[in-house]
Structures are given as structure tokens and as C-alpha cells.
Chains A and B, each alone.
Chain A
Amino acid sequence: MVFPAVEKEPAMSEPKPLSFHVPAPAVRPGGTPDFSDVKISRAGEVERPPVDVAPEKIREHAFRIIRVLDRNSQAVGPWAGLLSDTELLAGLRHMMTLRAFDARMQMAQRQGKTSFYMQHMGEEAVSCAFRKALEPGDMNFPTYRQAGLLIADGYPMLDMMNQIYSNELDPMKGRQLPVMYSSREHGFFSISGNLATQYIQAVGWAMASAIKGDTRIAAGWIGDGSTAESDFHAALVFASTYKAPVVLNIVNNQWAISTFQGIARGGSGTFAARGLGFGIPALRVDGNDYPAVHAVAKWAVERARRNLGPTLVEYVTYRVGAHSTSDDPSAYRPKTESDAWPLGDPVLRLKNHLIVRGVWTEERHKQAEAEIMSEVIAIQKEAESHGTLHTGPHPSARDMFEGVFEEMPPHLRRQRQQGGV
């Protein structure tokens, strides 16, 4: 090997002082919303590879956005056509139900009936459509913003409200913050309220299914901000190493409380691209496009089910509401930013698609909205008849000591006696 002569190397200038880089969003309150940096693929343009595709063949999928519904509300391209009219109409109803449920629970918190609530506005398609790609026996390891998984699976809304009110029928016995649901029967793992811990647990659950030679698969959920947590990387390395039958979902709703997604994303380009170094196929999908979310979920679920290993999916969406009832987004982003979000509203987009298909009308939509709202209000009244956090009745103080262990150890028994319960 011949090395170039030293004197031919370009002369290095004296290094300048280093500078520190802190990413910042394009716009802050008072500015004009600007999403020009969000590169949107045309509906139908991203190809649908076979599920056994080699991950390195679809690296570009981590940088594009799979979309089905176009500007004319038509379903187009290779990811379209999986759902029947009936299924799409059910999907619309699930999203509308979630939205009505959110509106009532948000208001109930403002009325002091509970301490806390977290709504889904703008993100309804992600969890509602994903649920329909799973089979009974599969398990979600959700965050606090996937209640659509429960609603789309027919989990009783009364139980959700009882949990939110911590009332006498609360399935969690008053032990958990509102919205931290749990339902083994409906494939919904207990929500921690911690961040990212559930991601590696989903991988462990999937590994267990493979160890036992079962056919069940798991789905992990995480937000854009929490992908920075160590447990996200633990999950990816374990999933990659053991080819676990798991779908790893990242819901990129642009905001981690007040922190824009660039802080967690860093120089990665996209969140989906995080999967590439692990050899995990990574897809991005329009999270506000119900048929697209469902089609991508189906693809990833099938890969897992056929023992082809994990898939990383980034749902590109927008958190229209506040992070929680304890948050005020006008302090950190323009008030009109959600109107400028280029991927629109998931409910409106599916509604318009169904109208174009000729199976839905404006009138029926209005009627359905009213019906759903009155159903939700009726359930809310029933839940409130069993108590709210404010008025009670609550699970008893005695319940507080139960369930720490399978059998109550002596020191807890003594403390319960001291507590006089």
C-alpha cells in the first residue's frame, strides 16, 4: 500500500473553539406554524414489500410515510383495500367513541370529579386501527395514550370510567392514577405511568411466547420523547438478538410535554431509523390515516406471527390536545399549530373516505355523533352513581393493604391494624 506523502495532505487550520448545539423547534408561541420540514410521501407511493423481506432491502421505508387516503379521500396504492365497508365503519365509530369519551372525561376532570386525565385528540386512529390487526391472546404493552386499544376491542367503557373516578367499582381498587388501565382479557398490559419500561417487557412477553412454542405475539408502545430512554434501546437489542415476535410501535405525536421531538430524535433523521442499526425492519406510517395504520400493523403483526421477528413502526401524528390536564400547550407552541398539521384529522379523513365510498353521509355522521355522545353520557351517569374521586364512595382503606404480596406478610398486617382498618 502506498501512503500519500505527508506534504500533499491539506493543511489543517487551527481548531476554533467548540460550540454547543441545542436543537429548537422551528416555531414557538406567537409564530406562524411551519411543518415544511415534515416530508410527506404521496398516498399510495410507498411500496408494500413481502413480509419476509430482508430488512436491508427496505431501509428507505424508515424515511418515507406510508399513506393510503389521498387528498380526494380515495384509498390508493399497495397498502389499500384490506378493510371492508363494515370494518371501516366500525373503525370510524371507535374513533368517534374515543373522542366523545375524551371530551366527557376531560370535562369531568375540570369539574373536579377526578384528579387527572389524558386525552387522545388527533391520535385516535393509531390505537383504534392497530387493535384490529391483533388476535385474541396477543398482548399490548401500552402507554397512557392508547385507550383506543380498549375501545376498539369492546372493553366496557363503564370500567374505564370507574377507574378514572377511582370509585367503588374501580377495577384497580383506587390504586392507580386515572387512565392507567389494565385488562389481561383484552390484551392490555397494566400501564405503569413510568416511561419506556413497558417496551422491554413487551419483548420479554414475546420471548416467552416463543420459548413456549405458542403463537401469541406482543406489541410494545412508546412515545417519541421516551425513545430516548435506555429501556427503548434494551428492547431493540433484545428484540433484535432473539428475533422476538413483537411489534415495536413509536407514536410520534411531535411533542413530549413541552419538548419538541427534535430533542429525543437528535441526528437520527426519523425515529423509525433507530431500528436500522439493529437490523429491525422499520416503517413509517401516516398515523392519521386509519386504513394505512391498520395495513402497516397487519404487515408487522404477520411478520411476528410467522416467526420473522420484530418490526419497528413509527406513527407520524400530532398531539392536538394538551399532554394531560396538568399541561397548557399555549406556553410552548403556537395555538394554531394543530390546524396547520399537514396530515389532517383522523376522524374527518376516514369519514370523508366513507362518504366517497358511498357508505356514509354527513347526515349519518351527525346522527352518529349525537348517538355516541348520548351513550357515553349515559355510561358516565352510571359510573358517577358508583362514586367519583371527589364525592366517593372509594375503595376502602383496607383495600390499600391488599395485593402488595400474594399473602399479606406480618409487618403489613401490623401496619393495617395500626392504621385502624
Chain B
Amino acid sequence: MPRKTMVEAIRDAMDVCMQRDANVVVFGEDVGYFGGVFRCTQNLQQKYGSNRVFDTPINESGIVGAAVGMAAYGLRPCVEIQFADYMYPAYDQIVSEAARLRYRSNGQFTAPLVVRMPTGGGIFGGQTHSQSPEALFTHVSGLKTVVPSNPYDAKGLLISAIEDNDPVIFLEPKRLYNGPFDGHHERPVTPWARHPLGEVPDGHYTVPLGKALVRREGAAVTVLAYGTMVYVAEAAAEETGIDAEIIDLRTLLPYDLETIVASVTKTGRCVVVHEATLTSGYGAELSAIVQENCFYNLEAPVARVTGWDTPYPHAQEWDYFPGPARVGRALKAVMEA
């Protein structure tokens, strides 16, 4: 089976969708001729023409606002915000417009669009190229929020997102674009070409939205993770020798309650991990879900390992990033509780 990087898998998803549906259009800052600063749209303009793949002015609200109008017309825009950190000017268009259009018009107008954005840290991007704003989307009614962790899922989830009739926020962990990353920043990167999840079938397939996957089976403790933190959790489990069951959520909203509950009911312990800041983060929702549904099976309080409640720093990146050592300590603490 062909091996692809996550960048290539994401590009392939758009390519497949554009081939199948003439209404799929792709645009954003630098995505046309150049193919995007992370190269996710490379050669798409050459293949599909500038009518369907084009550069935009630097105006995120304009990008998403125009996409809402196009989607209402009948197109399926898949737009790129260059970094999730740049999405704030578009937030009104996402929250008040795309997310609510179906509801407020009683289905007369809908917004089947995808907003792709690179998310997360690990590349020395500082405050404005490292944020993980997923909770700002999961808090909004009417949005679906997806975070893939590998090339296979990235392609299948993005095809599902483009084909979905509701707006989807597609957060791409940029540190995973070229290979899995377990938080050991001092070690060389393993390319996707040498990882089984780098195997990406050609052509059309989907990974359904709203379905989590157990990445590592275990009996001792459940780790709820997504994006880069899936690999950090795996490393922590290996290094501590704790038999953790690691769930890759893949879609944060709608979330897969059954998979979460089945695992925590089995293990009786739960650690929630994410890169985003702690307070009011998505982990708070996960923690609440677990205690609401699994309280009588829990042997220990639910623990959270996240980024600190500070802006994302530059020089202190590895003090901020919740790496395998911190996750490992949490696993041990939960086991000893």
C-alpha cells in the first residue's frame, strides 16, 4: 500500500473530493499557486484550475464569510486558515454564521463547509503558531470538530468532513505532518514512511465522524487523547510499563460516548491529555463525561495533563508541552490513588 505523509494524505483527500464533486472548491492564504505554507494544497491549482483553487487576501473573516455564502449557493468550500492561531478574525463567521445557518433558517440555507487549520505546538512556533483552540469550537452548537492523528485517518476524516452537510472544523496537528511525535523532541523524527499508519489507500474511503478508536488496548487505565498526544500517551505507557488503554478520540464533537464509557468502565481509571490550556479546556468536558457516566466504576479521580494556563511560550516550549514524563507521572499517580 502506498505510504504518505499527513500532508500528502490531506492533499489526497481534497484531490479525491474535487475529482468526484465539481462543487468542491479550495482557497485560503497562499494555497493557490504556491500550494500552502505546509504544502497541503500543492499542485491542486495546476490540476483543477484557479476557478476552484485560489489564493485569497489575508482576511480570515473574508475567507470563512465568503465560504458561507458559497456554501449557501451550493458549493462545498474546503478552506484553509494558515494557522489555527489566525482564526480569531473568522470566529464570528464560524460561530454566528456557519454554525447557526441551518438552524436559524430552518434548513432553507446550510453551510456545508470545512475549515482546515494547522493546530498545536512542537515546532517552536511561539504564541501565534502553536495554539490548540479546539474547545472554542466544541463549545459552539452546530459545529463538528475533528482532530486526526495519522495519515490514514486524516484522509478518511477529511473526505467525511467535505462530504458532510454541516460545517466541520478540521484541526491538523502540524507536528504530525511529517511523522508521529511522542514528545521526545531530542530524538530524530520517524517519518510516516516507516510507520504503519502512514499506509494510505488510493482513491475514496471514509473514516466516519464521531467515532473514536482504541489505539492501544490495556487494562489498567484509560487515556483519552487526540492528535499529537496519542503518541505522547503511547510513549508514557511504554516508559512507565503501565498497561494503559489509549483512545484516539478523532472527532471531539460529536464525541464517541460509547467507546469512552466502555473503556473507563473496564479500567476504572482515566487520564485526559491535551496540548491546550487546562482551564475550561476540552479535557474538562471529557472529565465531566467520565464522572457522569462512570462514577461508580472509578477507582481514582480523573486526572488531566495539559498545557499550562499561560500563553504558548517560545524558549520554554518543552516546559510547556505536556510530554511523556508528565503524562507518565499522571499515570503513576492515578494507579497509586
A226-243 interface bits toward B, Cβ cutoff 8 Å, 1 = contact, 0 = none = 000011011101100100
Known: A403-B102, A405-B142, A411-B254. A204 touches B108 (CB 8 A): no
Tell me, rounded to whole Å, the shortest Cβ–Cβ distance linking A168 to chain B. 14
Q: Do B69 and A204 touch across chains, with their CB atoms under 8 A apart?
A: yes
B107's contact among A234, A237, A238, A403, by CB below 8 Å, is which? A403
Q: Pick out which of these stretches binds chain B: A86-94, A98-106, A192-200, A304-312.
A: A192-200
**Is residue B214 within 8 Å, beta carbon to beta carbon, of the partner chain?**
no
Q: How far is the CB of A349 from chain B (nearest CB, A)?
A: 35
**When each residue 91-113 of chain B gets 1 if its CB lies under 8 Å from chain A and 0 otherwise, what string results?**
01100110011111111111000
Closest A-chain residue to B164, C-beta based?
A406
Q: CA A322 – CA B177 in complex, angstroms?
A: 55
Q: What is the CA–CA distance of A190 and B52 in the complex, to the nearest angstrom? A: 26
Shortest Cβ distance from residue B215 to the other chain A in the assembled complex, whole angstroms: 22
Which residues of chain B are within 8 angstroms of A5 by Cβ–Cβ distance?
none
1/0 per position for B204-231, CB-CB distance to A under 8 A?
0000001000000000000000000000
A184 to B72, CA, bound (A): 10
Residue B300, interface by CB 8 Å: no
Report how many residues on chain A are interfacial, defined by Cβ distance under 8 Å: 45
- Is A205 within 8 A of B73, CB to CB? yes
Give A195-219 interface residues, CB cut-off 8 Å to B. 197, 199-209, 211-212, 218
Q: Are A175 and B104 in contact (CB under 8 A)?
A: yes
Would you call A404 and B142 a contact (CB within 8 A)? yes
Question: In the complex, are the beta carbons of A197 and B93 less than 8 A apart?
Answer: yes
* Bound form: Cα–Cα A391–B72 in Å: 35
Q: Is the CB of B142 within 8 A of A203?
A: no
Quick one: given A201-B72, A234-B62, are A175 and B254 in contact (CB under 8 Å)? no
Contact B103 A237 (CB under 8 A): no
A406 touches B61 (CB 8 A): no
Please measure, in the bound complex, the distance between the C-alpha atom of A218 and the C-alpha atom of B70, giving whole angstroms: 11
Cα of A206 to Cα of B69 in the assembled complex, Å: 8
By the criterion CB–CB under 8 Å, are B51 and A403 in contact? no
Interface contact B59-A238, CB-CB below 8 Å? yes
B29 contacts A by Cβ under 8 Å: no
Interface range, B side? 35 or more
Q: Which residue of B lies closest to A238 (CB)?
A: B62
Pair A175/B106 contact, Cβ less than 8 Å: yes
A173 within 8 A of B: yes
Residue of A nearest to B107 (CB): A403
B89 within 8 A of partner (CB)? yes
- Does the CB pair A205–B70 fall under 8 Å? yes
A171 CA to B107 CA, complexed, in Å:
10
Please count the residue pairs between chain A and chain B whose beta carbons lie under 8 angstroms apart in the complex.
141
A184 to B68, CA, bound (A): 15
Q: In the bound complex, what is the Cα–Cα distance between A208 and B72 (angstroms)? A: 9
Min CB distance, A228 to chain B, in Å?
Answer: 14
Q: Among A204, A230, A233, A410, which residue has the most Cβ atoms of chain B within 10 A?
A: A204
Q: Are A171 and B106 in contact (CB under 8 A)?
A: yes
A249 at the interface (CB under 8 A from B): no
Contact B72 A205 (CB under 8 A): yes
A292 at the interface (CB under 8 A from B): no
Determine if A182 is an interface residue (Cβ-Cβ < 8 Å): yes
Shortest distance from the beta carbon of A21 to any chain B beta carbon, whole Å: 27
> From residue A244, how far is it (CB to closest CB) to chain B in Å?
9
Q: Is the CB of B70 within 8 A of A184?
A: no
A237:B59 contact, CB within 8 angstroms: yes
B255 interface residue per 8 A CB criterion: yes
A409 within 8 A of B: yes
Give the CA-CA distance A175 to B67 in the complex, in Å: 24
Docked CA distance A231–B61 (Å) = 7
Q: Which residues of B contact A258 (CB under 8 A)?
A: none
B residues less than 8 Å from A406 (CB atoms):
102, 110, 164-166
- How far is A238 from B67 in the complex, measured between Cα atoms in Å? 12
A208-B61 contact in complex given A175-B106, A197-B97, A404-B103, C-beta closer than 8 Å: no
Is the CB of B189 closer than 8 A to any CB of chain A? no
Asked if B257 is an interface residue, CB under 8 A from chain A, the answer is yes
- CA–CA, A172 and B103, complex, Å: 8
| Interchain CB contact (< 8 A) of B257 among A141, A205, A209, A411 | A411
Residue B57 interfacial (CB < 8 Å): yes
A406 vs B209: C-alpha distance in the bound complex, in angstroms?
13
Q: Would you list which residues of chain A between 152 and 203 have a CB under 8 Å from chain B?
A: 171-173, 175-176, 180, 182-184, 189-190, 192, 194, 197, 199-203
Chain A interface residues toward B at CB < 8 A: 139, 141, 171-173, 175-176, 180, 182-184, 189-190, 192, 194, 197, 199-209, 211-212, 218, 230-231, 233-235, 237-238, 241, 403-406, 409-411
Q: 14 A-B pairs, CB-CB below 8 angstroms? A: A190-B104, A201-B66, A203-B69, A205-B69, A211-B51, A230-B89, A234-B62, A238-B57, A238-B62, A404-B141, A405-B142, A406-B164, A409-B210, A411-B253
Given A211-B75, A234-B61, 10 other A-B contacts at CB below 8 A? Answer: A172-B104, A182-B104, A182-B109, A184-B109, A200-B62, A204-B65, A204-B70, A230-B89, A405-B142, A406-B165
Cβ-closest 4 pairs across A and B: A204-B69, A204-B66, A200-B65, A234-B62
